């Protein structure tokens, strides 16, 4: 077949592209690691050359493979050295005999929350039980709980574990303790490594032949340096031609980030409707983040709020009274709310634990103390919660929170507000409401919208605050509350298909993103 490669095509090739094309003949399969060995390049240069050549149609993929590895986290290393919470609890009970759950947690050096979940696990397995004095007893002294995960932790000490090299049982076990980006409660971090192999396309083979015919080697000099002039190394070399017809640099006028503009537009809308804005710190206590919202301290209800703990300082100095005592009484016996509470001894030390705010509802609860009745309040708040990052989930995200207080507010009013958020602010044309569950609202509802590409996803939750939340704050009237993912609203409004695009470091993508309509 005759060569149909123009001089312009050859002149515009980068030396890295030239070297790659010349080294590999048609039919040869290669990837970035092999290029490092064959051409003596660093990984970044290999990836650049492959990207450029594929974009020009000179290469095509031969094979794509994703390998999964499990790397031990800092928490996993700590558990390997000291024992998992389950192992420590069994060890302490074997040495000291029956203890109450708080005593056992302190003696084993684990958080009360971890002690509660570990007890549940061991109780189901018949290893532990609770006696008549509410003490935890060791039923099976010979048990070796967490043996499987202990072996995996030890094996991962030297190098990450490859998924395909694990047995089916080990794969199932490690999946319970592994997460993609790691977390405060994960023993393993999931690492996905994608391997792509290439081969020359028909066009690439033609370009390779043209390079050989014209004697282009990729060693041509593109810039004469002072050192080359001093030592004369430029003599006898071939020089790359300059592209005098290359386009000039672009003029880039300044503009605001489209997402920042969108957030301001939401604020303007709510303020125009008579709402007052609230805000607060991202570092909060367990008290305001969960306890004030009637979420039991040692219950799986908190699993949906997998928080990030602050290392130093670990605890706030104090919790404001009388709210601490009121909330403690509500959790233990129900207080003056008409509830029976959760029936456990409220831990006043645990409630001072400092965390990164995991939900914007924390500010709704705090605002009840000084809220006017009737009143309307909102906030756009940054939250932090471990989540597996994908097109509709982030571990660092924004929520728009709000409350409406009044004698006559009801669920119909709340559904009207949710409709406004979904249709006017998110721009959704298909909306549905489904029953939901939140420990702090009753009734509870979720609002879902349909994205043209991603399909149906949850926009957020809402409901009417339970008396266990409002009465300790001195509020006796109904309170409507909602917490919506404003990132997801922007995803719909700005016509995007992935939440990560809102926070992209790709400045070109941000420059070209359409403005809000």
Written as one string, the DSSP assignment of 62-84 is EEEEEEEEEEE-HHHHHHHHH--
* Tokens linked to 55: 């974009």
**Rounded Cα–Cα distance for residues 170 and 148 (Å):** 7
Check whether 503 is labelled as a binding-site residue: no
Are both 169 and 134 inside the same structural domain? yes
65 is a domain residue: no
| Structural domain that includes position 132 | 72-188
CATH code of the domain containing 182: 1.10.10.10
pLDDT in tens, 376-416: 999 999 888 876 676 566 778 888 999 999 999 999 999 99
Which pLDDT band, with edges at 50, 70 and 90, does 247 fall under? low
**End residue of a domain, out of 248, 268, 286:** 248
Q: Report the candidate in 69, 72, 73, 22 with the shortest Cα–Cα distance to residue 195.
A: 69
386 close to 179: Cβ distance less than 8 angstroms:
yes
**End residue of a domain, out of 153, 188, 223:** 188
Q: How many Å separate Cα 457 from the centre of its chain?
A: 17
195 is a domain residue: no
pTM assigned to the model: 0.52
85 close to 118: Cβ distance less than 8 angstroms:
yes
Are both 151 and 278 inside the same structural domain? no
291 is a domain residue: yes
Are both 351 and 209 inside the same structural domain? no
* Tokens linked to 15: 């030396």
Q: What is the DSSP string of 464-512?
A: EE-HHHHGGGT--S-EEEEEEEHHHHHHHHTT-S-GGGGG-S-HHHHHH
**Mean pLDDT of the 20-38 span:** 90
220 close to 456: Cβ distance less than 8 angstroms:
no
Are both 8 and 151 inside the same structural domain? no
* Tokens linked to 30: 């290669």
Are both 357 and 505 inside the same structural domain? yes
CATH code of the domain containing 447: 3.30.930.10
Are both 331 and 449 inside the same structural domain? yes
Are both 170 and 209 inside the same structural domain? no
Which pLDDT band, with edges at 50, 70 and 90, does 514 fall under? low
Check whether 17 is labelled as a binding-site residue: no
Are both 340 and 317 inside the same structural domain? yes
**End residue of a domain, out of 165, 188, 211:** 188
Burial 92-101 (b: 16+ CB within 10 A, else e): bbeeeebbeb
Are both 49 and 77 inside the same structural domain? no
Are both 113 and 218 inside the same structural domain? no
153 close to 187: Cβ distance less than 8 angstroms:
yes
429 is a domain residue: yes
Check whether 361 is labelled as a binding-site residue: yes
Asked whether the predicted pLDDT for residue 354 surpasses 50, the reply is yes
Are both 169 and 149 inside the same structural domain? yes
335 is a domain residue: yes
Which residue has tokens 């010349």?
Answer: 22
Instruction: Please give the span between the terminal C-alpha atoms of the chain, in angstroms, as a whole number.
Output: 53
Which pLDDT band, with edges at 50, 70 and 90, does 512 fall under? low
194 is a domain residue: no
**Rounded Cα–Cα distance for residues 206 and 198 (Å):** 16
66 is a domain residue: no
259 close to 496: Cβ distance less than 8 angstroms:
no
Residue 516 is predicted with a pLDDT of 47
Quick one: 502 exposed, middle or buried, by C-beta within 10 A (0-12, 13-18, 19+)? buried
User: In three state form, how does the secondary structure of 312-344 look?
Assistant: CCCECCCCCCCHHHHHHHHHHHCCCCCCCCCCC
**Rounded Cα–Cα distance for residues 208 and 216 (Å):** 10
- Percent of the chain, pLDDT > 70? 92
How many residues comprise the chain? 517
Residue 1 is predicted with a pLDDT of 44
**Mean pLDDT of the 175-180 span:** 82
50 close to 32: Cβ distance less than 8 angstroms:
yes
Q: Report the candidate in 200, 377, 195, 211 with the shortest Cα–Cα distance to residue 279.
A: 377
**Rounded Cα–Cα distance for residues 391 and 501 (Å):** 9
Mean pLDDT of all residues in the chain?
85
β-strand 276-277 against 375-384: which pairing, if any? parallel
352 is a domain residue: yes
Biggest alpha carbon distance in the chain?
A: 95
Q: How many domains does the chain have?
A: 3
Residue 2 is predicted with a pLDDT of 47
Are both 44 and 78 inside the same structural domain? no
């Amino acid at each position: 077949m005759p060569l149909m490669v123009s001089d312009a095509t050859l002149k515009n090739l980068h030396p890295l592209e030239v070297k790659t094309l010349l080294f590999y003949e048609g039919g040869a399969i290669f990837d970035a690691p092999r290029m490092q060995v064959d051409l003596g390049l660093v990984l970044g240069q290999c990836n650049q050359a492959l990207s450029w050549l594929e974009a020009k149609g000179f290469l095509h993929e031969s094979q794509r493979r994703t390998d999964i590895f499990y790397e031990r986290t800092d928490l996993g290393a700590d558990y390997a050295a000291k024992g998992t919470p389950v192992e420590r609890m069994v060890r302490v009970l074997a040495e000291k005999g029956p203890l109450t759950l708080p005593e056992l947690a302190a003696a084993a050096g684990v958080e009360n929350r971890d002690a509660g979940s570990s007890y549940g696990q061991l109780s189901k397995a018949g290893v532990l039980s609770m006696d008549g004095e509410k003490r935890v007893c060791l039923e099976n002294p010979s048990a070796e709980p967490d043996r499987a995960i202990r072996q995996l932790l030890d094996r991962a000490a030297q190098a990450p574990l490859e998924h395909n090299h694990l047995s089916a049982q080990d794969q199932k076990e490690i999946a319970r303790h592994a997460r993609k980006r790691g977390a405060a409660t994960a023993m393993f971090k999931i690492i996905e490594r994608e391997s792509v192999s290439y081969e020359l396309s028909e066009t690439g083979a033609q370009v390779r032949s043209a390079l050989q015919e014209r004697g282009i080697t990729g060693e041509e000099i593109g810039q004469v340096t002072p050192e080359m002039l001093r030592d004369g190394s430029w003599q006898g070399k071939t020089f790359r031609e300059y592209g005098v017809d290359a386009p000039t640099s672009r003029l880039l006028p300044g503009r605001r980030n489209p997402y920042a503009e969108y957030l301001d537009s939401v604020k303007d809308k709510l303020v125009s409707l008579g709402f007052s804005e609230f805000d607060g710190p991202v570092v909060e206590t367990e008290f305001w983040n969960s306890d004030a919202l009637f979420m039991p301290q040692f219950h799986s209800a908190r699993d949906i709020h997998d928080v990030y703990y602050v290392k130093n300082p670990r605890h706030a100095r104090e919790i404001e009274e009388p709210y601490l005592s009121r909330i403690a009484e509500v959790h233990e016996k129900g207080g003056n709310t008409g509830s029976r509470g959760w029936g456990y001894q409220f831990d006043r030390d645990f409630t001072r634990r400092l965390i990164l705010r995991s939900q914007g509802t924390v500010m709704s609860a705090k605002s009840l103390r000084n809220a006017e009745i009737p009143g309307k309040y909102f906030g756009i708040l940054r939250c932090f919660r471990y989540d597996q990052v994908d097109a509709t989930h982030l571990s660092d995200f924004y929520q728009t929170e709000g409350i409406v207080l009044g004698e006559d507010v009801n669920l119909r009013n709340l559904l009207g507000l949710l409709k406004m958020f979904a249709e006017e602010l998110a721009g959704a044309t298909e909306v549905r409401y489904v029953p939901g569950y939140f420990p702090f609202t009753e009734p509870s509802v979720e609002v879902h919208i349909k994205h043209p590409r991603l399909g149906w996803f949850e926009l957020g939750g809402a409901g009417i605050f339970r008396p266990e939340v409002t009465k300790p704050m001195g509020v006796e009237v109904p309170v409507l509350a909602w917490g919506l993912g404003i990132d997801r609203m922007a995803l719909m409004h700005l016509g995007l298909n992935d939440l990560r695009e809102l926070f992209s470091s790709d400045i070109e993508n941000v420059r070209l993103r359409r403005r809000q309509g």
